[in-house]
Each structure stands twice: as C-alpha cells, then as structure tokens.
Amino acid sequence: MKTEHAPSIQRSDYTPLAWNVDGVDLHFALDPAATVVTSRLRCSRNTQIAPAPLRLLGEDLEVLGLTVDGVEAAPGLVTQGEGWLEIALEGRSAEVGIVTRINPQSNTSLSGLYVSRGGFFTQCEAEGFRRITWFPDRPDAMTRFTVTLEADAASCPVLLSNGNLIEQGPLAGGRHYARWEDPFPKPSYLFALVAAKLVALERRVTTASGREVLLQVWVEEGNLDRTEHAMDSLIHSMRWDEEVFGLELDLDRFMIVAVSDFNMGAMENKGLNIFNAKYVLAKPDTATDVDYEHIESVVAHEYFHNWTGNRVTCRDWFQLTLKEGLTVFRDQQFSADMLAVAAGDAGAASARAVKRIDDVRVLRAVQFAEDAGPMAHPIRPDSYQEINNFYTATVYEKGAEVIRMLHTLLGAEGFRNGMDLYFSYHDGQAVTCDDFVDCMAEANGHDLDQFMRWYSQAGTPHVKAAGAYDAASRSYTLMLSQHTPPTPGQTDKQPLLIPVAVGLIGPDGRDLPLRLEGENHAGVTTRVLELSEVEQSFRFLDVAVEPVPSVLRGFSAPVILDLAEDDARLAFRMAHDTDAFNRWDAAQRFAERVILVLTADAAAGRTLAVPADFVAAFRALLNDAALDPAFRAQAMTLPSEGYLIERMQPADPAPLRVALMHLMRALGTHLADDWLALCRTLEVTGPYRYHPTDAGRRALGNLALKYLAAAGVPEGLAWAQAQFARFGNMTEGVGALAALVQSASPAREAALGAFHARYRDDALVLDKWFALQAGAWRWDATAAPVLERVRALMVDPAFSLANPNKVYALLGSFFRANPAEFHAADGSGYAFWADQVIALDARNPQVAARMARSLENWQRFTPALQALIRVQLERVAGATGLSPDVTEIVEKALA
Ligand code: 0A1
Ligand code: ZN
C-alpha cells in the first residue's frame, strides 16, 4: 500500500528523462511465492538536458542486488525515497543490473505480476511494471526488451512474452525456458508475460503487403471451442485497419490470451494482448449477441492500439486520451462498418444508427454523470492523485466524441490525411494530444486552436436551439447558443467549436433541401453548422413551409441539447425524422418527459396516468414493420435509470422506480396484443449465427417479453417460460430469464434455479445470473429487499471478492443498475456499500475504487438520502490504510 494521502500530480510538471534505457534484458525465474527478476538496463544520458541521476520507480520490491557496470553499487551512489530510487551515474552510458524478488501469489491487486488459476500473468498499464522491477516506469521511456522466462514445465508449459520467440528449451529440475525479443522499442506499460497451461487456436494470414503472420488465441484447454469468434474478429480488424487507414500488422506473430482474473476489459501489450476471458470466450450456448458484439469491439480496440498507442504512444499519462479516445473512435467506426456490411445496402444506415445509439446511451448515462460530479475532468486532465482512477468514460468515450468531431469537421479524407501525417511525423515516439491535433490542422490547412478547448475544458456543454419561420421571406432562422456549467476547479468556461448537424423536416415528413444564407449550393438535407460563439444564428433560405427542425443529427457533438418541443412535435419526429438517430432520440425525449411527470406524481401521491399520445406513438413504432427490428428495440427501450437520475433535481430513486414500473406495466397491458403478435413474427429459425439481422430480431423479441412479463400478461409469461424451457442459444435463454426475473411470476425462482443448475461450473455464464438478481426490481411488493438476495449470493460458492468479474456482476450491478434498491430509505444499501469498499480495498484498490465511484454523485439525491450517504462516505474516508485510489474518490466526493 502506498502513502495514505497521495500527492496530486500536475500535467504542467512534466520533465524529460535524464537517462534513456536503450535496451533491457529481463530474466524471470518464475515461482508462485518467490519469483526472482534479474534486469540489465543499458542506459545512455540525455545530452539535451542538464545532468541528473537515473531515476527508477519501484513498489513492493525486495532488492537482492544492484550493480553499475558490473560492480556492486556503492551506497553513496544511490538515494532512495518513497517509491523511487536514484543512481548517480557517471559519463554518457552505463549498465545497471538489478535483482529483485517478488511474490506473485500474494499479489491480489492484479497489477504487476500475479497468479490466476495456477498461471502467471502481468498487467502493467499504467504503473504495474514498477511492481515487477525497478525501472523508469513512465510512458516516454521507450526501450528494446529481451525477456527470458524460466518456469516449471508441468504447470506452465506455455511461456509467452512480447515480440518474437528466439529460443526455448528444457532445464534441469523439470523446468524449461523461452527467450523472446521485441524488435520495437516500447514503454514498460506495454510489457507482458504469460506462463501457464494453455492451448491456442491458430491461423496464418497474409497481410496487405504479402507477409505471412501467425495469429493465436490462447485459452485453457476446455475453452478451445469458444475461441473462433475472437479469431474472426481479429482477422476482420486487421483487414479493416489495412483498408481504412493503410495500417498493417508489424509483427510476425500476434497473440491474444484469456485470463479469468483481470481488472479491466483487456490490454494491448505489444504482440501479446491479455484479455479478461469475458471478452474472448464465446459459443452460442454461453454467450449472448451482446457478448459477441463486445468481443468483436474489444478485440478490435486492442488490435488498433498497435498503431494508436503502441507505435505512437503517450508522452505522459495526462495524454491518455491521445491513445484511448482515438482508439475507441476507431473501434466504433469498425463495428459500425461491420454491422453495415452485414446488413446490406438497404439496412446499412439503420445498422449504423443502432451502433451510434448504443454508444451514445453509454456516453449519456455514464460520461454525462461523471462530467456533472466531483470527478469531472477534461479529456486531458490537469492533475490526478492516482492514474488508475482516470481510465474514465471522459477520457475514453468523450475522448472518442472529440475525435469524431474532428472527423465530422474535416471529412473522412481530411481525417485520413491527418492520420497519415501523424504517423509520418511521430512513428516510434511518445507524444501529446497537441501533436495529434497539430497534424490534423496541418494536413487540412484548418485552424483548430479553438477546437483544442475540448481537451482542456471539463463539463458537458448545453446547446440551446430555437427556430423561427418567416413565411413572408420564406426563411427559417435557427438560433444556437452554448453554455458549459462550472466544474470543480474550472468556473469560467470559454465557448467551444461545436459541429451541429441540422435538418429541416417538412409537414409531409420529408426533409427539405437546405440553403444557408450567403451560400449558393442547395440540395443537401443535413448540414453541419459550426457553432463557435456563445450565440449564433443561421438563416436558411427558400424554405417553402414552416419546418420542424431536427437538431444534432447523429449526435454530432457530446452536448445536452435544449430544444423546446411539445408532445405533438416529438411524436411527429418519432414517426418521421429521417435521421434514425434523431428519430430514436425523439422517442427517448418523449419517454423521459412522461417518466419525469409520472415520478413527480408518484412522489406527491397522485394517481399515475400514462398519456394516450405517448402510448399511440409507441404503438406506431412497435407496429412499423418497415423499421429494422434492432432499431425498434432501441427506440422502445426506455432511458436508463442512471440517465434519468441525472435529469432529476433532486434525484429520488424510489418514486422514479414506481414511475418506471407503472409505465412498463401500462405499455405491456395496453399493447399486449401488439407485443404478442410481434413475438410471433420474430422467431429466428436455423442454427445460431452472430448476425445483426438475427440479433435485432432476438433483441426485439426479448424486449417484447420484458413488457409482457412486467405487465403480468399470462400469454407473455407463458411465452417466456416456453422460450426458457427450450432455449437453443444464450441470447434467448437470458432474454427469457430476464423477463421472468423482472416480473411477479412465481416461475421466477424455478427458472433461476434451473439456470444455476445448468451453468454452475461456468463462471462467465454465472456472472449473468448474479447480475440479473442484483439488478432485479421488486415487481412483487411482498418480496424481500434485493440487498438480502445480494448478501445471500455473496456466500454462494461461485462468488468471490477476489475475482473482479464477480464483483462487477453482483456488487456493481446492485450499486449501479438498481438505484431504487441501493438507495433504500433506511440507508442499508449505503452501509453495505461502505463495508464492501473497505473489504475490497484491502485486496484490490482498483476494483474498490470503481465500486466506490457508485456514490460520487451523492449530492444529486434528496437531503434525506444525502445525509445517510455522507455518514458512509466519511466512514470509508476514515478507514485505516485506505489506498490512494479510494482516498482520491471519497475525498473528492466529500470536498
Ligand atoms: N489500455 C487498455 C485498458 C487498461 C487500462 C488500465 C489497466 O489497468 C489499470 C488495464 C487495462 C485498453 O484501453 O484497452
Ligand atoms: Zn484502449
């Protein structure tokens, strides 16, 4: 454990390295309790700056030896402090030798070298390498690595590291070794090793330039039949990056390894990507369509990092969005293209919109909340206490939106030119966000100075839109204004450059051609306006009739759009907006309005009534067979509770839940015949395939069951039970189970029991079982609080606080996906939260901090809830030996 109050690290404090490590030879004598790491660093002085000692970083290391140029380092040469060690090296170059001993088996933080199910694995981003050996563990220290692994041959027959295998063989005492050499200099955060009992699915493919490369997906033996989809995803990613960005795999071998214990999704270590097993393993019987989709995008994400992250990396961790925002944007584009191609010409636009909706849902529910709370930070933060706390939705998802805006402003070709210039200037370097945007500006002759404010300003901007039609001059004026609310440490906000895509819809539901004042060309029906001032108006000419504006099409900027629209207008756009994203958004806005009114009525004890107009508009969507089922499923899924809580002032989860249950029941009851008829048209025949058309049908069918089950419609419940009894793939199985769990049906418990019996030995499938129960609503008013179930599940033999996936499935779902139960009026959820955060922190601070964040926006809630939360936040803040990770979260929450 580090110091109790971690100091804040400032972006402005960056200083270059005094010594480069040109090469490192690492030798690992692997042993679960006592691994000896021998390291030889070939150092050369950075002659550009004033002489200074070599500074190495280390954590929880036992030093067995330290030499300089082969001679034991004299004590006077070495100075040591908390987490660092400096060696006063002479001359222009030196070789430093260090031997350390570490205990991987007792490493429960899953950062550094650790043991999982008998194998050795590493996780070095962001600062895990310093838990392996002393090193300049920062991303601008780029080094050529040669790695020798030595381990017991029986328990660890497979020995992997980055780059190329150059030698391997047996050793005495039942041990063996392998030597790997990575031809590319890299920062230590991209180092990886794996020593375990694994098998691989292999493919040989030829790259665009004609090189044959070996691809491997390594898993435990029993999981080999679940690797095909990850391999296909990898091959598709390779092809896409060649075609879209001209980027080719630069290694002879590319490996993916699945591990059961992993804090995050996956890690892009050079040539040796290590994945949370959840994002590798899939077969129809165990993985849902959504799992297949996630695997495809995570495999792509890690693969794309090979160029955006690895070949060009970050100068310091403040630049994290340089690699993450860009790589998320790339994986989003890849997934959209994959969906569009599979959907064919007729379905491509809808398929792309469905993907965009998915991404925006996450952004609005998670990132907007982050931007409105105590952890709000710009996509390029100015300071942090613990870097692990900054792998955030802001850095990743808002960062991707910022890249998307560049793509929108510069066009696909201009963006590609900027990327080409970026690689031509910076390949092999550790650079900054400014370097990236400068390349975009230079390649396009575009001034992006104002655009850079997106990198430095936190908070979600509000864009207000208001239109006025002038029949006499046949013109329509759209007034746009922007305002970004203050965030911690940033009270004054400057106007941003915001691309606002706009269309005007005529009374017949068709888009009108657009001609902006001062411009000649007419004909386009969606126009990207550049809002750069606090307030600006845009005048459209030759507008024959009063139009309905459709603003922020495709969600062209990560902002909150304030546009006054009455119910009739929302219903009109819900039925006619030609921009599929905005059509969905109109449905969401209408639903949000209805839900917030119902919530206020519930809080005041008034009778709840769902407006007939809303039900009619909803019914029209449900029955619009011309619409792609995947889109219909999106449009009829209500806004998430997390998002709605952000829209309430103050947030009160109990009446919100009452409102949501009432609305689900009403839509299930009033539209029961429509839902049942829909179910009959949606069945997918033939063997399971992961395909957007089939997935869309299954998603809509499962949604129909959810409404029917919520309303207790007997035929709907019977349908769910029948589907559950004979499900042929996990999407149908979990869909039916979810519908039963979200109902008052007595069949609920039997289904949960049957599911457990069938999958008791399958950890990943059981995660779904844990998550469903932790996220369950109480449809039966006599049922016990969900917290009781969560407590009971914690003692289930399949549950373990040591496994992050289990923690996220059970505790994460309860804290984040079940606000009404978690925020119970007696405060029991909060006391439980504090107990778990403290218990987790002792073993895994990163996981504990992620759980701790579920209460960071506590000041949104009612005064009564706030008072209860404060007590628990203070209890956690006062716990002894608290990690810097959790300390930063709770201190910022309480500040
Ligand atoms: N760079 C990885 C995610 C990752 C980040 C941090 C980790 O440990 C603290 C682990 C993985 C990615 O973007 O996929
Ligand atoms: Zn990433």
- pLDDT tens for 600-610 read 999 999 999 99
Q: Is 519 among the catalytic positions?
A: no
Measured by CA distance, the residue closest to atom 6 of ligand 1 is 125
Ligand 1 mutation target, pool 264, 295, 304, 322, most atoms within 8 A of CB: 264
- Beta pairing, strands 212-219 & 199-206: antiparallel
- The secondary structure of residue 46, as a DSSP letter, is -
Measured by CA distance, the residue closest to atom 13 of ligand 1 is 324
Alpha-carbon distance of 383 to 742, in angstroms, equals 43
Mean pLDDT across the stretch 75-79?
Answer: 95
Q: Which ligand is nearest to the CA of 125?
A: 1
Q: Taken in order 130, 132, 136, 141, is the CA torsion positive or negative? A: negative
Q: Which residues line ligand 1 (CB under 6 A)?
A: 123, 125-126, 263-268, 301-302, 324, 388, 391, 846
Measured in Å, residue 712 CA sits from the centre of ligand 1 at 43
Q: Which residues of 538-557 are buried (b: 16+ CB within 10 A; e: fewer)?
A: bbbeebeeebbbbbbbbbbb
Q: Which ligand is nearest to the CA of 266?
A: 1
Q: How confident is the model at residue 2 (pLDDT cuts 50, 70, 90)?
A: very low
- pLDDT at site 843: 98
Residue 586, SS3 per DSSP: helix
Q: What is the maximal distance between C-alpha atoms in the chain?
A: 94
Question: Per-residue pLDDT for 3 more than 50?
Answer: no
- pLDDT at site 6: 66
Alpha-carbon distance of 891 to 895, in angstroms, equals 6
Measured by CA distance, the residue closest to atom 3 of ligand 1 is 267
- pLDDT at site 5: 59
Question: Per-residue pLDDT for 784 more than 90?
Answer: yes
Question: Per-residue pLDDT for 806 more than 80?
Answer: yes
* Angle in degrees, 0-180, between the axes of helices 714-725 and 672-682, rounded to the nearest 10: 20
Cβ(94)–Cβ(69) below 8 Å? yes
**Of 147, 397, 104, whose CA–CA distance to 261 is shortest?**
104
Cβ(439)–Cβ(457) below 8 Å? no
Measured in Å, residue 396 CA sits from the centre of ligand 2 at 8
Residue with tokens 């203050």: 486
Measured by CA distance, the residue closest to atom 4 of ligand 1 is 267
Measured in Å, residue 266 CA sits from the centre of ligand 2 at 8
Other CB atoms within 10 A of residue 82 CB: 7
- Cis check: omega of the bond before 16, within 30 degrees of 0: no
Tens digit of pLDDT for each residue in 423-462? 999 999 999 999 999 999 999 999 999 999 999 999 999 9
Ligand 1 atom closest to the CA of 309, numbered from 1: 1
Measured by CA distance, the residue closest to atom 10 of ligand 1 is 264
Ligand 1 mutation target, pool 109, 267, 320, most atoms within 8 A of CB: 267
Tens digit of pLDDT for each residue in 697-736? 999 999 999 999 999 999 999 999 999 999 999 999 999 9
Alpha-carbon distance of 701 to 683, in angstroms, equals 8
Question: Which residue blocks in 275-371 are alpha helix, DSSP H?
Answer: 289-304, 320-362, 368-371
Other CB atoms within 10 A of residue 84 CB: 14
- pLDDT at site 804: 99
Average confidence score pLDDT of the chain: 97
Q: What is the pTM of this model?
A: 0.98
Question: Per-residue pLDDT for 72 more than 90?
Answer: yes
- The secondary structure of residue 191, as a DSSP letter, is -
Cβ(386)–Cβ(849) below 8 Å? yes
- Beta pairing, strands 527-531 & 313-314: unpaired
Alpha-carbon distance of 265 to 277, in angstroms, equals 9
Other CB atoms within 10 A of residue 675 CB: 27
- pLDDT at site 602: 98
Question: Per-residue pLDDT for 61 more than 90?
Answer: yes
Question: Per-residue pLDDT for 526 more than 90?
Answer: yes
Q: Which ligand is nearest to the CA of 265?
A: 1
Measured by CA distance, the residue closest to atom 1 of ligand 1 is 267
Measured in Å, residue 264 CA sits from the centre of ligand 1 at 6
CA atoms in the 13 A half-sphere facing the CB of 553: 19
The DSSP element (H or E) to which 158 belongs, if any, is strand 158-161
The token duo for 285 is 């019987």
Q: 125, 220, 268, 302: which is the annotated catalytic residue?
A: 302
Q: Which ligand is nearest to the CA of 304?
A: 2
Cβ(738)–Cβ(706) below 8 Å? yes
Tens digit of pLDDT for each residue in 21-58? 999 999 999 999 999 999 999 999 999 999 999 999 99
- pLDDT at site 1: 37
Question: Per-residue pLDDT for 522 more than 50?
Answer: yes
* 327 φ/ψ angles, rounded to the nearest 5 degrees: -75, -35
Residue with tokens 């407590």: 791
ipTM: 0.99
- Beta pairing, strands 535-540 & 527-531: unpaired
Alpha-carbon distance of 824 to 586, in angstroms, equals 32
Ligand 1 mutation target, pool 113, 122, 298, 391, most atoms within 8 A of CB: 391
Cβ(343)–Cβ(692) below 8 Å? yes
Question: Per-residue pLDDT for 844 more than 80?
Answer: yes
In the chain, pLDDT over 70 holds for what percent of residues?
99
Tens digit of pLDDT for each residue in 281-308? 999 999 999 999 999 999 999 999 999 9
Measured in Å, residue 263 CA sits from the centre of ligand 2 at 14
Tens digit of pLDDT for each residue in 534-590? 999 999 999 999 999 999 999 999 999 999 999 999 999 999 999 999 999 999 999
Measured in Å, residue 123 CA sits from the centre of ligand 1 at 8
Measured in Å, residue 128 CA sits from the centre of ligand 1 at 11
Angle (CA) 320-324-325 rounded to 5° is: 105
Mean pLDDT across the stretch 737-744?
Answer: 98
Alpha-carbon distance of 737 to 696, in angstroms, equals 18
